[in-house]
Structure 1
């Protein structure tokens, strides 16, 4: 059985084909087609099948990490969306909460006010009211009013409609009835409800999440439909699986129903790929560091488990989200990041990027601004003849020209300007890692940095040195790690119910019944996706806080019967987690369960463990020597640097930096003073200041 993983990035689309029986892996890269990413995807799939010698009919699964939803939100290229809500609550999605995003700024941007997913003129209100704590009906739904609102939205050319009523997380009846009426009036529109997208309390976040889901719904729906048709036309009858933000895969049908699942699709795959690589190398505390052409994505893995966002910090483009997501921090820093002098005369790198088109000057596609890629060429760290394994020749003359122009503006020699570009970029990335580690009480010196993406291995060692991280792991296919991460996951669906119970007055029967009902619902959904019952598993958790607190911490709940003994462990775990997060715990205080969660997991075929190829000797792996420039003790020095072919490197034979290692999907830089070694798992382990 063969599977394909496809991850769409800002500059390149990465692909991998794996024979799940033999473990044989074939990788491929094509340029991303920003006007329509599916064009690049299908070009890559076709070429990959040819390279792998695989017939399209042999492909059982296509796993896809897509940026369609994310880019639609970031670029505000969303559908014209309408909302139907309760009378008097038209402006919940405008007002937001009393907390300011930036406490002391009088000029801050509030995206839900500056670029709302639903313009005010498309927000309609109707009579009807439910009440806590059980969602009982106070005022009947005005069905005629819903119909009038739908007719008005249809006349105004609205493409998507979201229905958001107060307390629908307790009782979805009003939303479901309103949805049926809207679908009757507007059969061509994308229609969803807040209780379907995110059935939990906090109406501003729930309404905003549902509104974003509706606003990207038509685009995601079209993209998935076009992709399925294109795969079918190519002869691939295998099933399409889309990476979700929670670290699992979802069926195409599920994604078209809940498009918000894909809001951080590709980024989640990168963290999974990094975790897989680290596990094979025997490392469980990892910082995943994924640098592409446009951005750098940072994830934290502790004890083999990735960090997840919470209600305080889950957002995209400034919009709060109530969706399970892997915690990935993104900054505008990549190979295509443009070096420039800002209006205040400061030297900056990014966040503007040359992207895939025109790309860096070295790509020869019309780019004429200095980028990180151009600087790496000037410093000898990228070999113009071995980019993408020789599949793409770089224009070194163009790179030197744009960096020379930058150097003239800065009044520096060209090598100083080029090295300055890298220093600024590396400092930006190191600061981003500090914000996810040091500023959260995590010491990065106890972690290994997984340097991946097309540019991660180029910068990983120098960024790690800035943070005193002693070890860098370069995966076997660093530029394709996100695509590989797609082949390491399972189907993964989440259900949540708002609970509001306390440790002082806990109704265990109600809690147990809710868990069982949620598991039964998820099992039925996975059965529809043809997952055998023996391949289904469940994970329970809850959002807990001390009574009176405003936000929660996610705590695992044990499987099996919900007993007083099991709950006693949950309370202890919460105290411990609170102490870890905030430095203290109130062990005598009452704990409140706000939400309970169940994750249903349907096992899928996974990428078999990879091992290092036999290789040869260092002498046999050496291609040539390049003149490469590095900064040592504040002074730029040029080194005669060996360039090695990665596939030919011997296993467990260390080699000293400086060295350059080239392969099809990336280039690895081992700086002076560092030492590298190919691990039996296939990864290169770089150790700073010691043996690998």
Structure 2
């Protein structure tokens, strides 16, 4: 038997999913082990092997593809474990990254900060001014060379940076998107003088107009490059030491896979890739059809809100008619850079979010600080004393202290109560009162954030099915979906929802994205469009083949980013394949108008306004053939047998414990129904069905929680 294995490292747990050649799926979980994440990586594979009744050494040779959702780059940025980077740029442009865009001062800031103008500050620079060097080359907008590279000047700049202790280089020259020869020449010189240094070239990072964003991307790539190289090297050593010698596939933020070799050269592609994997898995499952049964018009049945609630964050994505929302601009703090990615927004609300007393306001608050994997919630018994949402869920009665992760982590109820009582003491609140308040706060907070995100994208959440996964998704989604007016909540593939992002990694396709700025007004320059499409597709195919993908398996998708001539923000539009004629170009305009009206409203469409194509994007995809993975679902009738009964506090009904039926997840079969309030305990997650909600099993083995129209507002 051969296996396709996907691994996703979260802030608290590392999840591993193995899909065999018959489509059967096995999950394994292990605590994450920062900063040495490769330890948790190997432990998670071993957990799957043990669940299959074998050892790690016997299981590894049967792995045909080993695929990884990697968070090392993200963690290095957040924790400040980055390389010392030197930036080389064109003469007169050393200040570009320091000036930044005007909106950068307010990006990702709180309303209180934005309201106090006198408090506004620029963020700390990614590279200190002392590590920026200018060289006197110059390329024009059309790619013509005005001033050649002076090799002696470049060597002096590189040596100066090396003398300052630089470990990595970022090279971002003006108009390198039109002609990258100068950047490649500087890269060659650096490689000669510092063969061990990590080097990023701006034209290889971002091939679109935007000097500031391109420079930020180049610097960020170099900041995390050495850490990523070290991590993947350690990972390869750990795997080779256990007998696995194949190359890893790495998940990217664009929603596909690349080889580990390419990931080491472009680690920026991995930032945020873990949450993206869950959206990809949701897209695969949503297309099967049995999880989106609410009657809607046409392909609106594929409208899906994805919610991944783990130990640290809630990650939210949107599938509109089955297509993920994407963005061309990504943010690191207040710094914007261009990298095409699936749009997933993170909210600081997870099972490990810390509950605390806010002295200034005299109130209980939740997050955004998290207990993480170490020490974790107080109930884990690993030295944590501050209460978390997991501790609150335990005290409320949602979680079974003897069956968390099938008993793999016994939960200390007394420790959870003590931690909650400490927080509630200034307000005279009991552990139960603090737990109920925290539960209501976190559920309402998540509902508010999802509502804002969906409305900002032009969507009404009441028109969507919600997918809820991650270890805590099934616990909280039935509550916050009710506040949103969502009628159907899907726990994808049942217990496998706890590792659903790992399943998304395992079912992803190999993907390469190429893009180029074109700037052509309607009627468009057809020669420019056709030549650019051809160049991008050739480059994408070359990169796919270099990763070992068979050229005959590669499929292309095109996207044109368009805007009204009087505006600066683009709208992505699906573009047809093939040679373009004027008729094809006119179709793009029609598609743009329709998409613009959907996002901004019919009245926002501008009559007699000019249209402009600013950027062309090509996606090269090599399908993996795993899209049809399903979970076997046995049949049953009536209700599953009771496992027992437990007193549970349902905060929406008060603080009295209500006797609540408890079911064993493995006894919950297709054809059976559970009417809430009820709790279904699985080895890796817990389903909390609220009052007047109904749960059943779909043909794929997913759990469908149906919320009545009256209850869902």
- Where does residue 18 of structure 2 map in the other structure? 17
> 1:85-484 counterparts in 2 under 5 A?
85-99=89-103, 101-102=105-106, 104-106=115-117, 113-132=122-141, 134-280=142-288, 281-283=290-292, 284-311=302-329, 314-344=330-360, 345-476=362-493, 477-484=496-503
1:684 aligns with 2:703: yes
Distance in 2 (CA, whole Å) between partners of 1:62 and 1:220 is 17
- CA 1:105–1:203: 2 relative to 1, 3 Å: farther
8 A contact 1:615–1:647 mirrored in 2? no
More displaced 10-residue stretch of structure 1: 101-110 or 174-183: 101-110
- CA 1:399–1:124: 2 relative to 1, 3 Å: same
> 1:525-604 counterparts in 2 under 5 A?
525-583=543-601, 584-604=604-624
Q: 1:655 Cα shift?
A: 1.6
- CA 1:6–1:350: 2 relative to 1, 3 Å: same
Q: 1:440 Cα shift?
A: 3.6
- Where does residue 30 of structure 1 map in the other structure? 30
8 A contact 2:639–2:674 mirrored in 1? no
Q: 1:153 Cα shift?
A: 1.0
Residue 321 of structure 1: SS of its match in structure 2?
A: strand
Task: Give the aligned length.
Answer: 684
More displaced 10-residue stretch of structure 1: 354-363 or 230-239: 230-239
Q: 1:616 Cα shift?
A: 4.6
- Where does residue 661 of structure 1 map in the other structure? 680
- Where does residue 515 of structure 2 map in the other structure? 496
8 A contact 2:440–2:651 mirrored in 1? no
- Where does residue 538 of structure 2 map in the other structure? 520
Q: 1:316 Cα shift?
A: 2.6
More displaced 10-residue stretch of structure 1: 339-348 or 566-575: 339-348
- Where does residue 44 of structure 2 map in the other structure? 44
Q: Gapped runs of 5+ residues in structure 2? A: 107-113, 293-301
Distance in 1 (CA, whole Å) between partners of 2:205 and 2:456 is 32
Cα distance per residue 1:51-101 (max 9 Å; x no partner)? 323631111111101111111112222100000011111111010123354
More displaced 10-residue stretch of structure 1: 231-240 or 623-632: 231-240
Q: 1:407 Cα shift?
A: 3.0
Distance in 2 (CA, whole Å) between partners of 1:459 and 1:171 is 52
1:485 aligns with 2:486: no
Cα distance per residue 1:105-145 (max 9 Å; x no partner)? 425666xx53322221110111011111x121122222211
Q: Gapped runs of 5+ residues in structure 1? A: none
1:509 aligns with 2:515: no
Q: 1:691 Cα shift?
A: 12
8 A contact 1:131–1:137 mirrored in 2? yes
Distance in 2 (CA, whole Å) between partners of 1:690 and 1:656 is 16
Cα distance per residue 1:597-645 (max 9 Å; x no partner)? 1111122242543134316556654211111111345x33422111111
Please give the root-mean-square deviation of Cα atoms over the aligned residues, in Å. 1.8
More displaced 10-residue stretch of structure 1: 281-290 or 152-161: 281-290
8 A contact 1:410–1:417 mirrored in 2? no
- CA 1:439–1:536: 2 relative to 1, 3 Å: closer
Q: 1:195 Cα shift?
A: 0.3
Normalization by structure 2: what TM-score?
A: 0.93
1:638 aligns with 2:638: no
8 A contact 1:502–1:590 mirrored in 2? yes
Residue 651 of structure 2: SS of its match in structure 1?
A: strand
Cα distance per residue 1:567-618 (max 9 Å; x no partner)? 1111111111122222211242221111111111122242543134316556
Distance in 2 (CA, whole Å) between partners of 1:421 and 1:670 is 18
Distance in 1 (CA, whole Å) between partners of 2:456 and 2:548 is 44
Distance in 2 (CA, whole Å) between partners of 1:239 and 1:218 is 19
Residue 322 of structure 1: SS of its match in structure 2?
A: strand
Residue 277 of structure 2: SS of its match in structure 1?
A: helix
More displaced 10-residue stretch of structure 1: 420-429 or 223-232: 223-232
Distance in 2 (CA, whole Å) between partners of 1:507 and 1:335 is 53
- CA 1:522–1:100: 2 relative to 1, 3 Å: closer
More displaced 10-residue stretch of structure 1: 406-415 or 420-429: 406-415
Normalization by structure 1: what TM-score?
A: 0.96
8 A contact 2:291–2:702 mirrored in 1? no
Distance in 2 (CA, whole Å) between partners of 1:482 and 1:233 is 27
Residue 562 of structure 2: SS of its match in structure 1?
A: strand
Distance in 2 (CA, whole Å) between partners of 1:92 and 1:527 is 36
Distance in 1 (CA, whole Å) between partners of 2:227 and 2:27 is 29
8 A contact 1:494–1:599 mirrored in 2? yes
Residue 650 of structure 2: SS of its match in structure 1?
A: strand
Q: 1:681 Cα shift?
A: 1.2
More displaced 10-residue stretch of structure 1: 462-471 or 439-448: 439-448
Residue 301 of structure 1: SS of its match in structure 2?
A: strand
Distance in 2 (CA, whole Å) between partners of 1:644 and 1:109 is 53
- CA 1:618–1:78: 2 relative to 1, 3 Å: farther
Cα distance per residue 1:318-365 (max 9 Å; x no partner)? 321200111011011111111111231232100111111111111010
